Structure 1
């Protein structure tokens, strides 16, 4: 909603195609909040145009009573039919990722004009351009520094339950945890390469069964890290090696992990 509100303010007096979409989604009047059995975490408000046609739907978070997403009817239909894990990911996704998804939806529906409109909105998004730039720079720096990393500094921990099923992971990107001020508990793993992966699924699904340097739970309040531990029955990481890997990974991701690690005895 912050992106939509920002665009709405920027679109005052503009007649661009993106601004026409933004203004259309605001509607002429709004209905009362209703319940949708497919969206348990939110109430839904429909916005109507002057002719009484639904032009958009707004999701209202039940706990905070704040608007979290606004979608056009086709987007809303796809959202409400998605599994809860996908819905949670969409809530945390950057706007440009949603624009790209909407472009695919409209293209499949044969509305190529709207498909192009959403594709252009995503490609020209300041956030998309920034993330592409940071990704290229980050990849270059990682490659150039790879030869300087000493092998064997951290102890890897293997999956102790290799027979258990591994499913597709539900990952919460770090930038989205911070940007939406996420509060709650999530699982995390630190892969052998030092990559931090945070999500809702189990540890072996986040790591896809590979060895890890650290694993456990992380608690967040308003997007800030409050606690990390080693609570993972599949890996049972322990000792200074696991703590060091976890703290290093969270600090590198932009969180303050100093003094936040608590080791659990298995």
Structure 2
């Protein structure tokens, strides 16, 4: 069975496909429509977007035009990082929902604990306010699961103080040499699935000779080893590409990395240099 047909189970029992097709930095229109269409034809069933990406409409259109039953596809989108107000959060979700045009959203995330232009700012009260709006949509059945992105342990602990429903996912930057061990351990201890974006270190890792040697040993590409590494760590990878051959290649990760080689990869640092 292909890894594209395998699942993680979220804390509420919702099944989430183990590999997602990411759409960050793919322009709205033909680029997004064509890449999502090809991903779906290649077997992907989990598509990750965000209001901030500006491509939700094209994602939704590609899914609708695919002919694949809606309940077989898992859709993630995100509340913009700068929104830290209850009413604004509700309005933004309605906008995303309308643009996607796919009915209930499978996973909805707070994109970051602070506005991107104010990274590190204390927005605890704002996060608690928008989480309350998300909980209401979740309870109403308009969102099947809720979570966060780019949250540290402190951010998660702050949210927990007022949350009625605990986050089910934390989507964070995660790749060989950058595994955010403290946050990852906290999430696993609290039944929060870790999703890893930029599993290829935004391309920086592709020329790493040490990872290259491991890839050669398995007869795989560096990208495939990087994506498989996340799966071996029970982290959900979000590879992204607009190149049809790479979209397919990134999903051909049905192999196992030995414990010895995993330990070697664990020891690598600065792969994003």
**TM-score, normalization by structure 1:** 0.25
Larger radius of gyration: 1
The structure with higher relative contact order (CA 8 Å, sep 6+) is 2
More helix by share: 2
Which structure shows the bigger proportion of residues in strand conformation?
Answer: 1
TM-score, normalised relative to structure 2: 0.24
